[in-house]
Structure 1
Amino acid sequence: MKIGEFSKINKISIETVRHYMDLGLIIPYKNGSQYEFNQKCQKELENILNLKSLGFTLNEIKSIFVYETLGKLSITEKNNILHDLFTLKKKEISKKINELVEIETKLTKKIKDINSVEVKRNFSLGIDIKNLNLLSCVSCREDLYLEEGNIKNNQILDGKLKCTCGISYSVKSGILIVDEYAEKKSSEVNNNIIEEYIKETDENYILNVRKGLDWVHNELCKLDFSDKVILEIGSGLGFLLRNLYDDLDESSVYIAIDNNIEKHNYLKSLIERSNTKKI
């Protein structure tokens, strides 16, 4: 039979068959420019798959085939050599099993340690009253003033900011809502958002993001952030802030802007669980 039929019957790719041929594990009869695969080839393939299932590498299988064919060994000689090879492989597998058991024990401890950490909210983050002067009406650019609100430790957690032109803006869970329609369109962000983002995003793009954030951090950390206002448009899940947070001064003001309110809520909850309030 031809290589296509041989690969189809055995449910392996033609590339795999060619690789086995290149290694000398399968040696078909060549009829002109075509290879013919016979029962001998079928037996060779079955031996390959059987030895692979026992943990042997292709190079090790190649050595076994050499012992079996070129050596023209007697049954006793063949069995003695195979006994040594199989015994050596068994010791190798036993060692790997012990290593995996040790790794499993370490992982179990790591998981237990992670589960024992209590992640709690250390403070409530909202709009600091002293920073109201940084906000203005999107329509007339006039300053906003607090008309009503729930205030805790000088943080506006809920309430309403109003402009003299009559336009008012809601503060919900410490976040200023400029576009009520955008708030309604926001989709819920779950706690596995970062894990899902990494899984669903191209690996090269993730690498470039990491390099970019590393470069930004190295450049921005040279700056003095004391009494500075940092405005990030399209902050999303706050990748920039995460990389800058430890370098920020307590007098810094960070303003995150995004059209997805749930992402804001997620980022705010992360900051509230940090050890130090800086923004």
Structure 2
Amino acid sequence: MKIGQFAKDFNVSIDTVRHYIDKGLLIPEKINTQYQMNTICLEDMALINELKLYRFSLKEIHKILSLKRLTNNGNNEDMSYFRNLLVEKKKQLIEEKDQILRAIHSLDAKINTETNENIEQDNKKKGVPLLFVPVLSCPYCQSGLSLQNASILVNQIFEGNLYCSCGYQTEIKDGILFTNNLQSSPFKYSIYEIDVEKWNPSFVSLIEKSKLWMYNELTQHQMENKMVLETNIEILMMLPKYLSSLSKNTSYIFTCYSLETIKTLKQSIEKLHPDLSVLYIVNSDLHLPLAHHSIDFFIDSLSLTQYSLIYKESPIQILTKYLKDNSYIIGNAVFYEANSKSLKRIQTIYPTPNPKALQLNLLEEELHEHHLTNLIKEIVGFTKNPGSYFSYHDENEKMNLLAYKAAYSTAK
């Protein structure tokens, strides 16, 4: 019998039959290049299917077939051996069944716990803490914003409209601040929708190393009663992972254009760190409704890198006016060597990139031009394969990852 008919008779694929042949479970004759499935193959295949029904592994089945082949008969000793195997397999399956039932009960308990926690969390949702009201200002004329139609409960603003006499408007919905003129990035992406295949795990590990470097630099400073801003969190975020080890009296501001990212982060922080003072802003242009000179630390989690791909204006140029004197920027950025193919691809792929996007001198020039002294910078490492998300990357080139800290001062 040919292998095709054999597979059809036993309702398996030809590839399965070939796999069994390769493993020595089936031993057919071979005439020229064609396998001929003989009577013994029929008997062995019937036994294989029966044992698979009893949930024997192929390795176990091979042992049983080996005994059958060695003894070449079906005497009482063979039958006793086979019966003992069946008894042992039954015990094993009962044990597995008990383990599965215990796992199911544990899952039910976990699901019920999570459901109850989510209900409790929904009842404890937080709004914009009132302590942020003094720093809410028009991003254009810097006048204080008037709050109208507000829903306030226990020092939290859940709903409300904010107005400036110059015409600027913004609103608070579900405890989240929405700026006007929202514009989604033409290259939509959210860290919560990450496709691991598009980010090389080794590059993610490199980024994690840079975030640890940033955290260590941040903790060199006194954080009590400070205000920390992290932007661009739809791509990458550093602070949330380390909130438990930072000061409880620090105020945090997170901003990005993705409402889903903001909502997910808000839910997570409220569950894990319910006592923290946090302001969540949905914004796309970084012109934030905050008072100038109100931020002590700006966390740049690849903000300069990503922003420079889309806009000619840099985030450092926009955000320095929000920084206090003697404040800090702590961040990371990727860059290529001059004249690399990847840099040229950026200028062709993106419609309006910064001419110096992903060049090291862009960061250095921005820091210098906007009164930032580069105290520390360290190349954390490089990769030649960051992942397919980075469509502009040439696989023969190094993408370097830099971590840095710079001090902001208006004194010359």
After TM superposition, the score normalised by the length of structure 2 is 0.53
1:124 and 2:137 correspond = no
CA offsets, 1:169-188, max 9 Å, x none? 233333332235659xxxxx
Are 2:98 and 1:79 equivalent residues in the alignment?
A: no
Deviation, 1:269, is: 4.0
* Structure 1 residue 277 corresponds to structure 2 residue 244: no
Q: Structure 1: how far apart are the matches of 2:248 and 2:183?
A: 31
Displacement of 1:71 after TM fit? 0.7
Alignment of 1:132-143 (within 5 A): 132-133=134-135, 135-137=137-139, 141-143=140-142
Say if 1:152 and 1:65 are closer, same or farther in 2 by CA, change over 3 A.
closer
Query: Within 2, Cα distance between the matches of 1:173 and 1:20?
Result: 60
Q: CA deviation at 1:9?
A: 4.8
Q: Which is worse superposed, 115-124 or 33-42?
A: 115-124
Structure 1 distance, partners of 2:266, 2:92, is 51
Query: Which residues in structure 2 correspond to 1:177-216 (within 5 Å)?
Result: 177-179=178-180, 197=193, 201-202=195-196, 205=199, 211=205, 214-215=208-209
Decide whether aligned partners of structure 1 residues 145 and 126 sit closer, same or farther in structure 2, where only a CA change above 3 A counts.
Answer: same
Any idea what the Cα deviations from partners look like across 1:216-252, whole Å, max 9, x if unmatched?
5533432234344433333249864431322332443
Q: Any idea what SS the aligned residue of 2:233 has?
A: coil
How far, CA to CA, are the matches of 1:116 and 1:237 in structure 2?
A: 31
SS at match of 2:145: strand
- Asked if the contact 1:20/1:26 (under 8 Å) is kept, the reply is yes
Within a 5 Å distance, the mapping from 1:123-272 to structure 2 comes to: 124-126=126-128, 128-130=130-132, 132-133=134-135, 135-137=137-139, 141-149=140-148, 150=150, 151-152=152-153, 155-179=156-180, 197=193, 201-202=195-196, 205=199, 211=205, 214-215=208-209, 218-222=212-216, 223-224=218-219, 225-236=223-234, 240-272=238-270
SS in 1 for 2:230: strand
* Percent of aligned pairs with the same amino acid: 27
**Amino acid in structure 1 at the alignment position of 2:63:** S
CA contact (8 A) 2:229 2:252 kept: yes
Q: Distance in 2 between matches of 1:169 and 1:109?
A: 43
Q: Which deviates more, 203-212 or 116-125? A: 203-212
Query: Where in structure 1 are there 5+ consecutive unaligned residues?
Result: 184-192
Counterpart CA distance in 2 for 1:128 and 1:216 is: 34
Residue segments in structure 2 that go unaligned for 5+ positions in a row: 185-190, 279-412
Q: Which residue of 2 aligns with 1:60?
A: 60
Select the structure that is richer in strand: 2
2:292: which partner in 1? none
**Distance between the aligned counterparts of 1:108 and 1:175, measured in 2?**
33
Q: Distance in 2 between matches of 1:19 and 1:39?
A: 19
State how far apart, in whole Å, the 1-side matches of 2:236 and 2:268 are. 10
Change in 2 beyond 3 A, CA 1:227/1:48: same
Q: Report the Cα distance in structure 2 between the residues aligned to 1:109 and 1:153, rounded to whole angstroms.
A: 33
The structure with the larger Rg is 1
Say whether 1:91 aligns with 2:85: no
CA–CA separation in structure 2 for the residues paired with 1:267 and 1:237: 13
Residues 84-118 of structure 1 show CA distances to partners (whole Å, capped at 9, x for unaligned) of 22222223223333333444444444445445546
Question: What is the rounded CA distance, in whole Å, between the counterparts of 2:200 and 2:120 in structure 1?
Answer: 27
Counterpart amino acid of residue 47 in structure 2: N
Distance 1:132 1:75 in 2: 92
Superposition deviation, residue 57 in structure 1: 1.8
In structure 1, how many angstroms separate the alpha carbons of the residues matched to 2:74 and 2:171? 90
Separation of aligned partners in 1, 2:235 and 2:275 = 19
Aligned residues: 263
Distance 1:210 1:8, change over 3 A: farther
- How far the C-alpha of 1:62 sits from its partner, in A, is 1.8
Distance 2:115 2:162 in 1: 41
Instruction: Quote the offset at 1:70 in angstroms.
Output: 2.6
2:23 aligns to what? Answer: 23
Deviation of 1:8 (Å): 4.7
Q: State whether residues 248 and 278 of structure 1, in contact with CA within 8 Å, keep that contact through their aligned partners in structure 2.
A: no
On the 8 A contact 2:162/2:169 being kept in 1, the answer is yes
TM-score of the superposed pair, with normalisation by structure 1:
0.73
Q: Which amino acid aligns with 2:215?
A: C
